[in-house]
Amino acid sequence: ISDLGLSICQHYNIRIGSIMIVMNIVENVSLRKHSAMRLGGETRFFAEAASEDELKKLVDWAKEQVVPIVVIGEGSNIIWRDEGFSGLVISNRITDRQVLDEDDNHMTIRVGAGEVWDSVVEWTVKKDLSGIEFLSAIPGLAGAAPIQNIGAYGAEISQSLVELSALDTHSDDFITIKNKACGFGYRTSRFKTSDKGRFIITSITLRLNKAGPAPPFYESLEAYFKKHKIKSYTPRTIREAVIAIRAIKLPSPAKVANNGSFFTNPIIPKNEFAKLQQKYPDIKGWPHGDNVKVSAGWLLEEAGFKGVHDEETGMATWPAQALVLVNEHANTTTDLLAFKQKIQTKIYQMFGIVLGQEPELLP
């Protein structure tokens, strides 16, 4: 036992049935280190899995010990409760990059769940492939991308994903799940809803285009291209534009404690949006099927939450983007949730809209 009260088991002998195996498991680990918001309690056990074999052994051990498991990446979209977690947190570090197939128009690649997402995007852009360049500079690992169905500037991971591989913790088998079976929606999937916690993603397979991206683009991208007199649209120019725009609007989680955009853009019926337009002519929204996707950032700015510093909770909103909640000197997740509630209450009072939280609250 160290002076910090941590029991570090560098060679942890664990019996699964009649088989003795060795794994590295750390006890009583602060979860603040594993969330970009840097809040939360402790986990009873923590381990990293660098292969499917290690992952399977850790899951088997947890079942033998009758302790729950949570699998994470870098923690960029995670908020931990103050109570901590009584089970095993597994950090997925399975890496792999392969070109599986290629023809005149497309290239299909497979990426390990533990790969840094933005490094994967950079890798594909260097190959002059189009499809995920709009998702540049999104924090996190590749395995988390389908869970959240990450998206930006009109693109979503679901548009490029062919299938994924995962460990089914119900059957203890490694399986393949096709795109149509993932239950993708706006910033969601079956892995976040109906089957939350069941599947541990180990790799994703993407089909990318050799043809370059074509306009029209999102308003902010169009403005960037116009300002910089860019008329040639390639995966590289899109990536450079996205990185530049995000650098202005969003703080780096490595430097400022935040989870990126904290609220999703609410989707409301067209008639409700029309009523809001009568009262707020400048309200921003985009067609979304038979509904309208409303700009959550506009709602927060209109409600006066841009660049707010809340001394009571120690939380703030980022000056360049009100959607980003920043931990300035909050001590607990309770502080964060209290600040979140202040925002949600005022937005509902003004617009009759309930804002949904994007980062996942665990466990």
Mean pLDDT computed over every residue of the chain: 93
Classify residue 332 by burial, with Cβ atoms within 10 Å: 0-12, 13-18, 19+: middle
Q: Taking residues 249-277, what's their average pLDDT?
A: 96
Given a contact cutoff of 8 angstroms between Cβ atoms, the answer to whether 276 and 269 are in contact is no
User: What pLDDT score was predicted for residue 17?
Assistant: 52
Task: Give dist(CA 272, CA 131) in Å, integer.
Answer: 33
Classify residue 51 by burial, with Cβ atoms within 10 Å: 0-12, 13-18, 19+: middle
| Sign, Cα dihedral of 214, 322, 283, 338 | positive
3-state secondary structure of 337: helix
pLDDT band with cut points at 50, 70 and 90 for residue 13: low
Q: Taking residues 235-258, what's their average pLDDT?
A: 95
Q: Taking residues 301-324, what's their average pLDDT?
A: 97
- Return the higher-pLDDT residue of 116 and 14: 116
To the query of whether residue 219 is one of the catalytic residues in this protein, the response is no
User: What pLDDT score was predicted for residue 3?
Assistant: 35
Q: Taking residues 10-14, what's their average pLDDT?
A: 49
pLDDT digits (tens, 9 = 90+) for 211-245: 999 999 998 999 999 999 999 999 999 999 999 99
Q: Taking residues 109-126, what's their average pLDDT?
A: 98
pLDDT band with cut points at 50, 70 and 90 for residue 21: low
Task: Identify the CA nearest to 110 among candidates 207, 235, 211, 210.
Answer: 207
Name the active-site residue from 32, 81, 187, 198.
187
3-state secondary structure of 221: helix
To the query of whether residue 187 is one of the catalytic residues in this protein, the response is yes
pLDDT band with cut points at 50, 70 and 90 for residue 2: very low
pLDDT band with cut points at 50, 70 and 90 for residue 23: confident
**Amino acid (one-letter) located at 145:** A
3-state secondary structure of 338: helix
Q: What percent of the chain has pLDDT over 70?
A: 94
pLDDT digits (tens, 9 = 90+) for 125-148: 999 999 999 999 999 999 999 999
User: What pLDDT score was predicted for residue 298?
Assistant: 97
According to DSSP, the β-strands at 315-318 and 309-310 are: antiparallel
- Return the higher-pLDDT residue of 2 and 98: 98
pTM of the model: 0.89
Task: Give dist(CA 36, CA 75) in Å, integer.
Answer: 6
To the query of whether residue 136 is one of the catalytic residues in this protein, the response is no
Hey, what's the torsion of the CAs at 273, 277, 283, 286, to 10 degrees?
40
pLDDT digits (tens, 9 = 90+) for 38-86: 999 999 999 999 999 999 999 999 999 999 999 999 999 999 999 999 9
- Return the higher-pLDDT residue of 324 and 219: 324
> Does residue 181 have a pLDDT over 70?
yes
Both tokens assigned to 127: 């190959």
pLDDT band with cut points at 50, 70 and 90 for residue 14: low
Secondary-structure percent of the chain, ordered helix, strand, coil, rounded to 5 = 30, 35, 35
- Where helices occur in the chain by DSSP H, the ranges are 52-65, 117-126, 145-148, 219-227, 235-249, 270-279, 296-302, 333-351
- How far is residue 172 from each of residues 46, 53, 189, 200, 267, measured CA to CA in Å? 20, 12, 21, 11, 37
Task: Give dist(CA 74, CA 145) in Å, integer.
Answer: 12
> Does residue 292 have a pLDDT over 90?
yes
pLDDT digits (tens, 9 = 90+) for 39-51: 999 999 999 999 9
Residue 328, CA atoms < 13 Å, CB-side half-sphere: 16
